[in-house]
Amino acid sequence: MPDIKTKNIYYMLSYAYEALKEDGVKDLGQEDFDHVHDLFAAILARGVATQVKSGLHRDFVQYEDDITLVRGRIMVNETIKRQTRIKNRLVCTYDLFVTDSPHNQALKSTISLLIRHGDVKDKNKIALKKVLLYFSDVTDTSPTAIRWDALKYHRNNASYRMLLNICHFIIDGLLLTTESGAYRLTAWLNDDAMHRLYERFVLVYYKTHHKELYPKSELIDWNVTETSNYLPVMATDISLSFNNKQMIIDTKYYSHTMRSRYGDKQKYISHNLYQIFTYVKNKEKDATGDVYGILLYAKTDEEITPDENLVICGSHIGVHTLDLNCEWCVITEQLEEICAVLRQ
């Protein structure tokens, strides 16, 4: 059985990659996943089933074939080379609007990989096999042959972005071993991956349980008298609002949350504090004190754990930690305490 922190990461993944439907997230949160592969399988089975109901993405795919009737463009040189005219056939290239697109090939490859994985429970394998039936016309592709950077998204296939992010995450974390063709989990949850997961989890948690706070990631305009083309973009991780109050949460996942230089005492990481202070000051244009800034660190094993509320130049700045090494109910209590400030 996994330890508490590992199980909490499973639950964070279920929030971060479920399709932001409250019931679906609750269902996953109540299940007991002994392996991260099983969680991925459950998430992907539900996500693809939803996509199937709305229709699999179709795209124009170019084919080349020797045919009896002209279709598309005749490849003259290739026709001569193959001497197909002897058989009254021409080599043509033509486009078909089919489901056999790179997007669906990536989905099928990932589903097939999880079905073969020994750590996926039979229940989730059955669910994956059911959705796999809809991919019968899709070419089988090796996971290593998928070109993730070549997958493009537009209005008609925007719903695929989340699904294929999951697939990329799964395949990046699985390597084919030489031992009986099994797949194993690699150490892909580094600080960078965990930071992205941590940020998305906090946002989706509030989107799921506190829609009345209008959770979102937003751009903050600089409070300047004259515009400039060279000012950097200010994009929040999470913004919450209730009545006239607003809260900006900046999530941080580091191996270390405190810094010291030349033997000095432990201090907050300066650029993190500068960043959240800048966000608050530019959002709070009228200096009302109704904009709260929160630096939300994931707790580390360091001796000092940031947990205090400050008032800096009239602005409320909180520096807190979220302990991921405790029971799930305690994690949610911490998140509830943070947003409760808006209702005070």
Model pLDDT for residues 101-110, shown as the tens digit of each residue: 899 999 999 9
| pLDDT, position 108 | 95
Label residue 19 by pLDDT band (50, 70, 90): very low
Label residue 93 by pLDDT band (50, 70, 90): confident
Model pLDDT for residues 311-344, shown as the tens digit of each residue: 999 899 999 998 888 888 899 999 999 999 998 8
| pLDDT, position 85 | 54
The dihedral built from the CA positions of residue 325, 329, 330 and 334, taken in this order, carries a sign that is positive
Question: pTM here?
Answer: 0.64
Label residue 20 by pLDDT band (50, 70, 90): very low
Domains, the chain: 4-56+104-188 (no CATH), 59-98 (no CATH), 192-343 (3.40.1350)
User: How far is residue 203's CA from residue 16's CA, in Å, rounded to a whole number?
Assistant: 8
Joined tokens for residue 323: 């302990």
Least confident of 82-91, 125-134, 235-244, 294-303: 82-91
| pLDDT, position 181 | 36
User: How far is residue 252's CA from residue 236's CA, in Å, rounded to a whole number?
Assistant: 12
User: How far is residue 242's CA from residue 342's CA, in Å, rounded to a whole number?
Assistant: 6
Classify the phi-psi angles of 33: left when phi > 0, otherwise alpha if psi is within -120 to 50, otherwise beta: beta
| pLDDT, position 254 | 79
CA distances from 20 to 17, 26, 203 (A): 8, 10, 10
Q: What angle do CA 30, 9, 295 make, to 5 degrees?
A: 115
| pLDDT, position 187 | 43
CA distances from 6 to 32, 133, 326 (A): 12, 33, 10
User: How far is residue 167's CA from residue 111's CA, in Å, rounded to a whole number?
Assistant: 8
User: Of all residues in the chain, what percent carry a pLDDT higher than 90?
Assistant: 31
Model pLDDT for residues 21-47, shown as the tens digit of each residue: 443 444 554 555 666 778 788 888 888
Residues 58, 105 contacting (CB under 8 angstroms): no
User: How far is residue 175's CA from residue 172's CA, in Å, rounded to a whole number?
Assistant: 8
The dihedral built from the CA positions of residue 263, 267, 271 and 274, taken in this order, carries a sign that is negative
User: How far is residue 66's CA from residue 88's CA, in Å, rounded to a whole number?
Assistant: 9
Joined tokens for residue 232: 């950097």
Model pLDDT for residues 43-72, shown as the tens digit of each residue: 888 888 888 888 888 877 777 777 667 777
Give the chain's count of helices (H) and strands (E): 10, 14
Label residue 260 by pLDDT band (50, 70, 90): low
Model pLDDT for residues 264-285, shown as the tens digit of each residue: 677 888 899 999 999 999 998 7
**Nearest one of 137, 139, 135, 162 to 151, comparing CA atoms:** 162
| pLDDT, position 134 | 94
User: How far is residue 69's CA from residue 35's CA, in Å, rounded to a whole number?
Assistant: 54
User: How far is residue 98's CA from residue 250's CA, in Å, rounded to a whole number?
Assistant: 43
**Nearest one of 67, 45, 136 to 98, comparing CA atoms:** 136
Higher pLDDT, 23 or 195: 195
| pLDDT, position 60 | 76
Higher pLDDT, 258 or 226: 226
Label residue 153 by pLDDT band (50, 70, 90): confident
Most confident of 161-170, 246-255, 295-304: 246-255
Question: How far from chain centre, in Å, is Cα 68?
Answer: 48
Higher pLDDT, 19 or 261: 261
Model pLDDT for residues 221-245, shown as the tens digit of each residue: 999 888 888 999 999 999 999 998 9
Model pLDDT for residues 172-194, shown as the tens digit of each residue: 765 433 333 333 333 445 566 67
Higher pLDDT, 150 or 306: 150
- The single-letter DSSP state of residue 117 is -
Residue environment code for 324-341, b if the CB has 16+ CB neighbours within 10 A, otherwise e: beeeeeebeebbeebbeb
| pLDDT, position 173 | 64
Paired with 176 in beta bridges are 183
Model pLDDT for residues 94-145, shown as the tens digit of each residue: 777 778 889 999 999 999 999 988 788 899 999 999 999 999 989 999 988 8
**Nearest one of 243, 304, 316, 254 to 279, comparing CA atoms:** 316
